[in-house]
Amino acid sequence: MKKKIHFGWFTEYGPIGWDGPDAVEGDWRQPELYQKMAQICEKGMFDFALFADHLGITASFKGSIDNYVKYGLNGINHDSTLLATMVAAATKHMGVGTTVSTMLTPPYLLARQTASLDHLSKGRVAWNVVTTGNAAGFLNFGIDQLPDHDARYEQAEEYMELCFKLWGSWEPDSVIMDRKTGIFADPEKVHPIDFEGEYYKSRGPLNVLPSPQGRPTIIQAGSSQRGKDFAAKWADVVIVGAHYVDDMKAYYDDMKERVIKFGRKPEQLKVFFIIKPVLGQTEEQVNQKLEALKHPPESLIHAALSALSSRMSFDLSKFNIDEPLPAIDEKEIQGGQTTLSRFYTSGRCPTLREVAIQEAAGNKGSIAGTPEQVADQLQHIMESVGGDGFVLRVDTHDHSYMQEFVDTVVPILQERDLMRKEYTGNTLRENVMEF
């Protein structure tokens, strides 16, 4: 029996892609662009739409916010949780994911908001857990020192423990709502948690009723050693950018082994690889698109380096753009510690410019071709790696790209019995865990 492929859509509530050559007309500040894209994805039987978020405009590149403001880069964001509610209202089956920081959000507030959204979406909410490796967010909350990378994960462990206790503070059958007796709920089945740890304290119980999923579906982007352990322990889905099939295979096998180490079954964590295939209806169109990606304007290269610096909380402007990067001590990188290392696997030694060009192209996995060829490559990756799925990182403005993928690639995968043809689960977690 063939294993079906999961798909998700990944973007952010911000201006990214506002000036792209294929950008559809519309105001990124309003919900319609996101709702329309989500409806396209739902037609393609995607599992979820996930919205990244940032709590401040970074000064990681050249010690200034200028590039981020000038090009409208990540860091200029509106609240992803509020957007998720609007997208949930415009869809029926596909999940919606919001990104919320464990370091800068009170755990009770997070537990309450996501449980409420799970009710409003009828069980379709996901929480993308981040510890925030960007100093700008901390500065905006009056915290002058960015905590150490691993220390943030240590604190996040306690954060998760508290949230899980809050979500479980009402037993599943605690709510009665019997009009004849006037009894709303059984108080013996609603429990204060009296949690007190090193970082957090909460009496509980949560004042939100048990939600359709019980708790949100947990998404995480762990790629450092500490991050991968965190994802293996807590997450339902992990998303990762890996550029080559051998790297995908190594990551997949590593994560499944870590899941077992934490007493879980391998199938309880789904691994999604971030991609954006270069798609054309003819090989000539594909070659033209590939050639254009090799020669981006200088502004796009600077924007890509700025974005990489932001994700790493590390200034890349200090290096010669036409030389390979020297060795960097991981302890100097407070953000995504494997942001660059994935470009340098298996003896590869690209220059910083070549890294920026790859980043600007956004084609994680080097997938390109006609719909049939792209379907072949996606199938090959899943068969070589073992599963579980892909996240398409597509700007909200690029409706034509997603429409083409859904109209041409998805039917081929469905014909091969490699994608669902209908939603069978009532909740996001049921659909994610379906296969």
The answer regarding whether domain 6-175+206-286+360-432 maps to CATH 3.20.20.30 reads yes
Q: 157-174, pLDDT tens digit by residue?
A: 999 999 999 999 999 999
Give the amino acid at 201. Answer: K
The domains of the chain are located at 6-175+206-286+360-432
Largest Cα span, the chain: 77
| Residue 394: band (very low, low, confident or very high) from pLDDT cuts 50, 70, 90 | very high
| pLDDT > 90: percent of the chain | 71
Give the amino acid at 394. Answer: V
Residues with Cβ within 8 Å of residue 255, at least 6 apart in sequence: 228, 231, 232, 238, 269, 271
Question: DSSP letter at 96?
Answer: E
Are 176 and 184 a contacting pair, CB within 8 Å?
A: yes
Tell me the C-alpha distance between 91 and 87, whole Å: 6
Hey, what are 190's tokens? 């609603």
Q: For 382-387, what is the mean pLDDT?
A: 91
Q: For 227-234, what is the mean pLDDT?
A: 97
pLDDT for 416: 97
Q: 3-34, pLDDT tens digit by residue?
A: 899 999 999 999 988 888 888 889 999 999 99
Q: Is 290 exposed, middle or buried (0-12, 13-18, 19+ CB in 10 A)?
A: middle
Q: What is the mean pLDDT of the chain?
A: 91
3-state secondary structure of 368: strand
Are 271 and 3 a contacting pair, CB within 8 Å?
A: no
Tell me the C-alpha distance between 435 and 420, whole Å: 10
Q: For 385-412, what is the mean pLDDT?
A: 96
Q: For 393-414, what is the mean pLDDT?
A: 96
What are the backbone angles phi and psi of residue 170, rounded to the nearest 5°?
-105, 125
Give the number of other CB atoms < 10 A from CB of residue 285.
Answer: 13
pLDDT for 119: 98
Q: 344-378, pLDDT tens digit by residue?
A: 665 677 788 888 887 777 665 589 999 999 999 99
Residues with Cβ within 8 Å of residue 34, at least 6 apart in sequence: 11, 13, 49, 51, 83, 86, 87, 396
Are 316 and 61 a contacting pair, CB within 8 Å?
A: yes
Q: Is 420 exposed, middle or buried (0-12, 13-18, 19+ CB in 10 A)?
A: buried
pLDDT for 32: 97
Q: 174-229, pLDDT tens digit by residue?
A: 999 999 999 999 999 999 999 999 999 999 999 999 999 999 999 999 888 999 99
| pLDDT > 70: percent of the chain | 94
pLDDT for 345: 62
pLDDT for 341: 61
User: Strands 237-240 and 368-369, how do they pair?
Assistant: unpaired
Are 118 and 166 a contacting pair, CB within 8 Å?
A: no
Are 7 and 392 a contacting pair, CB within 8 Å?
A: yes
Question: DSSP letter at 102?
Answer: S
3-state secondary structure of 377: helix
Q: For 267-294, what is the mean pLDDT?
A: 93
pLDDT for 2: 78
Q: 290-319, pLDDT tens digit by residue?
A: 888 888 887 788 778 877 887 777 788 888
